[in-house]
Chains A and B, each alone.
Chain A
Amino acid sequence: MTVSVYVPVALSVLVAVISRLMAARLSPTRGTVIAVVGAAVLCAAGTTWALVLLALTLLGFTQLAVHEATERGVVLLQPVPGVVGVLAALALVFGLVRVVRVARARWATRRELRELCRSCAPGELAVVPVAEPHAFAVPGRPGKVLVTQGLLALLDGKERRVVLAHERAHLTGRHHGLRATAEVCAAVNPMLVLVREAVAFLVERNADEHAATVSGSREVAARALSKAALAEATERKHAVLGFIACSVTARVAALHEAPPRPGRLLPGGFVVLGLGTTIAAVQATMAFYRLIHWLWLS
């Protein structure tokens, strides 16, 4: 337990760093996104469980075990220090608070979006007479694409097709769910914030590629994206940057290149790392169980 309980934490750091470094190089297929989100879920679950086990040591197992060991003349491998247990308990509470905060923010925005959709015309597309250029997909049954009149007026017919296809790709690919999952994982385990940003980027790239295919031209897709981003940049005084800054620039650059070839190796690697945290968590649990068994049942 003393080693395996810390493995999920180490593996989460690894997954976070790799997703940060590789986000731009991964082929943005739906499979890739699911693999990365899956790894995040496994890492979040693994670390949470490891924290639970560490926090449980606060209940006095350590002292009891040390006492028993000296009495029976057994040498224990470093028991968990008390301070680690306290830190683990604090981290659990902190994670819980963050999850609640994320859930409430999401819920509030979803409700507002649904109200907004109710005051719009029926159908797949709703245009809102706002001058600022914005477009987003609102999930639901059926989902809806919201676009401002300002953005539509800025683009030509083919570029408008790109925007619509991009937003539709978010809806059909259920990207909201994938992003929400990654966000909850990042709330549970702050190291996974990098993974959350990588997922956000990959999902946008996935929709970009879809839009490029539908419009039949990567050039047009890149132009539509550049125009929309520039218009939004001049509109907003203060820029809120994600962790993968310049993501729009990276997306435009990717569209100017040849379509990415699907790769299996990297997404597979993510899943393997995620499974590593699960295995470590299971091992730690077994060690914990053995300790309890040794203390009370033998």
Chain B
Amino acid sequence: MRKSARISSRRGAGELESEVLAALWAARRPLTTAAVQGAVDSELAYNTVQTILARLYEKGLVERSAEGRRHLYRPIKGAEELAAEQMQALLHRGPNRQSVLQRFATSLSEEDAEALRAMLKLRRRRR
């Protein structure tokens, strides 16, 4: 337990950048620094989040607008439509081609899905 806690607090800057960027994309609306902090991990220091947002801004990955004295951040969408189209095309290839994609979660049969749902519900109740 101690070991894993140590590892999680030692995440590199690049990993945190990805997490912040992921949180901004997930939100689907511009976020303040405090909101980003809440969305990523409330144990993260506010200053750290601010630094990471500044770095992402310098890299041109997020844009910011001023709202009063605060900044609002949102991810920059580049060639998003092209990327979306390319991904859809990839996902609808035959199973032969699919094996190359290392998916996070492969598809489930109906019974497995049912078992998984039950497991999730059980855990939620226990918590």
Closest to A147 in B: B22
- Pairwise interchain contact A152-B25, C-beta atoms closer than 8 A: yes
Partner of A136, one of B26, B76, B96, B102: B102
Interface size class of B (residues with CB under 8 A): 35 or more
Enumerate A211-227 residues with CB–CB distance to B below 8 Å.
212-217, 219, 222-223, 225-227
> A249 to nearest B CB, angstroms?
5
Partner of B4, one of A147, A216, A245, A256: A216
- Pairwise interchain contact A134-B79, C-beta atoms closer than 8 A: no
Which secondary structure characterizes the binding site on chain A? helix
- Pairwise interchain contact B59-A123, C-beta atoms closer than 8 A: yes
Q: How far is the CA of A246 from the CA of B22 in the complex (A)?
A: 28
> A188 to nearest B CB, angstroms?
16
**A127 to chain B: which residues have CB within 8 Å?**
21-22, 25, 75
- Pairwise interchain contact A120-B83, C-beta atoms closer than 8 A: yes
**B119 to chain A: which residues have CB within 8 Å?**
226, 252, 256
B88-107 toward A: CB 8 Å interface, digit per residue (1/0)?
11110101111111111111
- Pairwise interchain contact A108-B25, C-beta atoms closer than 8 A: no
- Pairwise interchain contact B87-A249, C-beta atoms closer than 8 A: no
Q: Known contacts A128-B80, A226-B116: does B7 contact A216 (CB below 8 Å)? A: yes
- Pairwise interchain contact B22-A116, C-beta atoms closer than 8 A: no
A273 within 8 A of B: no
- Pairwise interchain contact B87-A130, C-beta atoms closer than 8 A: yes
> B7 to nearest A CB, angstroms?
6
**A158 to chain B: which residues have CB within 8 Å?**
41
Q: How far is the CA of A166 from the CA of B107 in the complex (A)?
A: 17
B5 within 8 A of A: yes
Chain A residue total in the interface (Cβ 8 A): 82
Partner of B83, one of A119, A124, A166: A119
Q: How far is the CA of A132 from the CA of B82 in the complex (A)?
A: 16
B68 within 8 A of A: no
Binding site for A on B (CB under 8 A): 3-5, 7-8, 11, 14-15, 17-19, 21-23, 25-26, 28, 38-41, 59-61, 75-84, 86-91, 93, 95-110, 112-113, 115-117, 119-120, 123
Binding site for B on A (CB under 8 A): 101, 105-106, 108-110, 112-113, 115-116, 119-130, 132, 134-137, 145-149, 151-153, 155, 157-158, 160-161, 163-168, 170, 175-176, 179, 183, 203, 212-217, 219, 222-223, 225-230, 232-234, 236, 239-242, 245-249, 252, 256
The 3 closest A-B pairs by CB, nearest first: A229-B105, A152-B26, A135-B104
6 more CB-based (< 8 A) A-B contacts, given A123-B59, A134-B91, A160-B19: A110-B100, A112-B86, A126-B83, A217-B4, A227-B120, A232-B106
